[in-house]
A and B are shown apart, each in its own frame.
Chain A
Amino acid sequence: MNFTLNSEQRQLQDTLRRLLSDHYSFEKRRVISASAEGWSAAAWRKMCELGISALSIDEGRGGLGGNAEDIAVVMAELGRALVVEPFLPTAVLAACALGGADPDVAAGLLPRIAAGEVLLAWAHDERTARHRFDCVGAAAELRDGRWLLTGVKSNVLHAPAAEFFVVSARVRAPSNTEGVALFLVDARCPDLSCRPYRLVDESLAGEITLTSALAVPLADPLDHQRQEAMLGAVRRAGTAALCAEAFGVMQAAFELTAGYVNTRVQFGRPLAANQAVRHQIAEMAVALETCRSAVGMAAAAVDDPISGFQDISRAKLLIGLHGRTVCHQAIQLHGGIGVTEEYKVGHCLRRLVVLDQLFGDADAHAQELATQLVQATEVMRSQQRSNCDD
């Protein structure tokens, strides 16, 4: 059990933090997100030079073979600086999916992801699914030995910049069992179109429409077990990574607020001289420590192949719940400046809302957890009864 960063992680954190404070100030971030591209190839290249794009990838495939804790360290720093670069879609989600793919599909791409030479996007969410991860309407069919995908994927992060999409689609096997499988689609495919847009936090996204688009399966689409494992791995890694980013966002909001109340003078004394203000700061600190633990337990669960999804679900729930509260308090304590476009703290809330909505929001995870808790208790009670009957 290890909740303190090891020396390599600490070094990674320090270097990335320094890079971001030198080259990714909030003013710079505003310029980047307001640009036509919506991201910065130059800034992304600098980050990749630190090796962060290679973390999720095995050493044998050009990567650094990092674990979920390493990813969490990076995500938290990116969150802290409200970075709008493609780390999550390319270097976490797509890299994780490809990590489980057949070698002939993955071998060409993984080293290029590791080197920061190619951008991919994770195209899974659909409008009607809301927070049901297994709700996939896009269909895959095998025609003349080629797989063709049809469907619409929404909120695809960094879609306009992606060169390849990892797309989930429903497959019907000859035995009539149904399952979801993952495919790779080239962004240049004429049967794929992308409607670019920005999310509420100014980050880049798009809706992609596939009309019998040519696709390469990551692995045998009829091998449901393997496909489920790949999807599950992306869900685990992705959810845990989002938690870490949200923690970084909360940290930023908290640090800004603590600094602000110490220096802002009203009625002849700093805001921090008021107990009502100090107590809110204390409440924020408690929430932050809770979420720090949540990030740790989610990362540990990703790294432990036999652990269930529960700790990850718990973490996502807590992050959504406390993340919003901390951002609300941060805005409140800033007063008027907190609700302006030009000041960072409002953008923390905007990013947090995006993070809450991806990979299941707090309420969706609460529902899933509660159902499991009640079921487990009912099973226990019926076992106890049958033991008594014996």
Chain B
Amino acid sequence: MKYTPELEGFRAQVRAFIDERLGPDLRNRLRQGFPASKAELQQWQRTLHERGWAAPHWPKAYGGADLSTEQRLILLDELFRAPAPIPLGFNVTMLGPLILAYGTEQQKRFFLPKLASLELWFCQGFSEPGSGSDLASLRTSARREGDDFVINGQKIWTTGAHLADWIFCLVRTQKTERKQEGISFLLVDMRTPGITVRPIVSIDGEHHLNEVFFDDVRVPMTNLLGEEGRGWDCAKFLLANERTGIANVGLSRERLGHAISLAAMLGESGNDVALQPWFLQEIAILDAEIRALEVTNWRLLVGDDERSAAFASVLKLKGCEMQQRVMVLLSKVAGPEGLEKRPSRGEESKHWAAALDPRYFYSRAASIYGGATEIQKDILAKAVLERA
């Protein structure tokens, strides 16, 4: 697979831009395996936004750059390669395109530029304690009172709710026979009275996830996205749109490169991990798989492959497997050096192995969120068995 000269030219532009604008400190911390802080992500997304590259696939009129899918994939690839922070997915990959498709002109003008620049930080209120993979069984409700909706209920596994300014939610506005009906899609300001955010500390000892409680939370009608009762359409559209970033090819490739680089570093101090058969076997397989995934990604997203829709599950399944395998590899490279529990900030966090085990632990979430592996296999099996 070769990219056209035009696309290679675009890649060079992106690379030069990142090299000029991304600070070495942030780059090093990301390479080590730590996430960017809220302030760092805000600043970096603003920087990208100057070029329209925070939401590259949106129309220019709303803060995008009208880039093609090909260019967008290359941009993502270069961000991962650097490594640089990736623009907030909730804003630019999920909610933005949804507002473009279903929003009123007023909603577009108000939200889109702020989503692209990260002036507003959104989180996603989908999962509930009783509704994990079976999303449509959700019970958080909203009743109409005058020009407002009044929300009651609870969301869970809400990534970044403690950082977010707004939340987009699926809520039940009607009791219907089919559980997919009667759901509405609401945009809610996190400062609204009645919202409580409670942290959930995850397996890596960090705070990414939250519970969000809604207690008579009043939301104006104007924050309804799409039609009342048709929120399930929005959810499906949004999940389908998530496809582009779903394989995370660039991330896995960068992490694999880092593992090999660490092994080479260890070699210089006399450790022979880079010569061990298990290591060589695993890097070869991962390198080959990741390259093939890059081609599959391209084939299914850019090519006119008619199987694209159902086969997005292939991207999620394979992408996940790769991500999780490179994280295991990095943890094994860290070896005993990774055992000491180190803080994620400050001087001790600068140890090369500090982030590797925690990052590996949290990577187990990748096959659970965004449609668990089991759900993806169900979807894929249905598609291929129907055609058999």
In the complex, how many residues of chain B place their beta carbon closer than 8 angstroms to a beta carbon of chain A?
A: 48
Decide yes or no whether A378 CB sits under 8 A from chain B.
yes
Mark B192-210 against chain A: 1 for CB-CB distance below 8 A, else 0. Answer: 0000000000000000000
Cβ of B2 and Cβ of A282 under 8 Å apart?
Answer: no
Cβ of A377 and Cβ of B260 under 8 Å apart?
Answer: yes
Beta-carbon nearest neighbor of A270 in chain B: B385
In the complex, what residues of B have CB within 8 A of residue A71's CB?
none
Cβ of A296 and Cβ of B295 under 8 Å apart?
Answer: yes
Cβ of B380 and Cβ of A282 under 8 Å apart?
Answer: yes
Decide yes or no whether B309 CB sits under 8 A from chain A.
no
In the assembly, what is the distance between CA of A100 and CA of B272, in Å?
43
Beta-carbon nearest neighbor of B310 in chain A: A285
The segment from A9-17, A112-120, A256-264 that touches chain B is: A256-264
Instruction: Kindly provide the distance from the CB of A287 to the nearest chain B CB, expressed in whole angstroms.
Output: 9
Decide yes or no whether B4 CB sits under 8 A from chain A.
yes
Please pick, from B260, B265, B377, the residue contacting A279 in the complex, using a CB distance under 8 A.
Answer: B377
Please pick, from B260, B382, B384, the residue contacting A373 in the complex, using a CB distance under 8 A.
Answer: B260
Cβ of A258 and Cβ of B388 under 8 Å apart?
Answer: yes
In the complex, what residues of B have CB within 8 A of residue A381's CB?
261, 264-265, 268
8 Å CB contacts to A: which residues of B314-334? 314, 317-318
Give chain A's interface secondary structure class.
helix
The segment from A207-215, A219-227, A338-346, A364-372 that touches chain B is: A364-372
Instruction: Kindly provide the distance from the CB of A361 to the nearest chain B CB, expressed in whole angstroms.
Output: 13
In the complex, what residues of B have CB within 8 A of residue A261's CB?
385
Task: Please count the residue pairs between chain A and chain B whose beta carbons lie under 8 angstroms apart in the complex.
Answer: 145
Please pick, from B280, B281, B292, the residue contacting A290 in the complex, using a CB distance under 8 A.
Answer: B292
8 Å CB contacts to A: which residues of B264-297? 264-265, 267-268, 274, 279-281, 283-285, 287-289, 291-293, 295-296
Cβ of A367 and Cβ of B284 under 8 Å apart?
Answer: yes
Decide yes or no whether B166 CB sits under 8 A from chain A.
no
Give chain B's interface secondary structure class.
helix
Decide yes or no whether A388 CB sits under 8 A from chain B.
no
Instruction: Kindly provide the distance from the CB of B72 to the nearest chain A CB, expressed in whole angstroms.
Output: 15
Instruction: Kindly provide the distance from the CB of B388 to the nearest chain A CB, expressed in whole angstroms.
Output: 3
Mark B243-270 against chain A: 1 for CB-CB distance below 8 A, else 0. Answer: 0000000000000010011011101100
Please pick, from A3, A275, A296, A370, the residue contacting B378 in the complex, using a CB distance under 8 A.
Answer: A275
Instruction: Kindly provide the distance from the CB of A14 to the nearest chain B CB, expressed in whole angstroms.
Output: 16
In the assembly, what is the distance between CA of A321 and CA of B263, in Å?
25
Task: Give me the interface of B with A, judged by CB distance under 8 Å.
Answer: 1-4, 257, 260-261, 263-265, 267-268, 274, 279-281, 283-285, 287-289, 291-293, 295-296, 298-299, 303-305, 311, 313-314, 317-318, 374, 376-378, 380-382, 384-385, 387-388
Task: Give me the interface of A with B, judged by CB distance under 8 Å.
Answer: 1, 3-4, 255, 258-259, 261-262, 272, 275, 278-279, 281-283, 285-286, 289-294, 296-297, 300, 304, 307, 311, 313-315, 317-318, 321, 363, 365-367, 369-371, 373-374, 377-378, 380-381
A sample of 18 more A-B contacts (CB under 8 A), given A281-B380, A313-B288, is A1-B2, A1-B3, A1-B4, A3-B305, A4-B304, A258-B384, A278-B377, A286-B317, A290-B289, A292-B296, A293-B299, A297-B295, A311-B1, A311-B291, A315-B288, A370-B279, A374-B283, A381-B264
* 16 pairs, CB–CB < 8 Å, chain A vs chain B: A3-B298, A4-B303, A258-B384, A275-B378, A279-B381, A282-B313, A282-B384, A285-B384, A289-B314, A293-B296, A311-B291, A314-B292, A317-B284, A321-B285, A378-B264, A380-B261
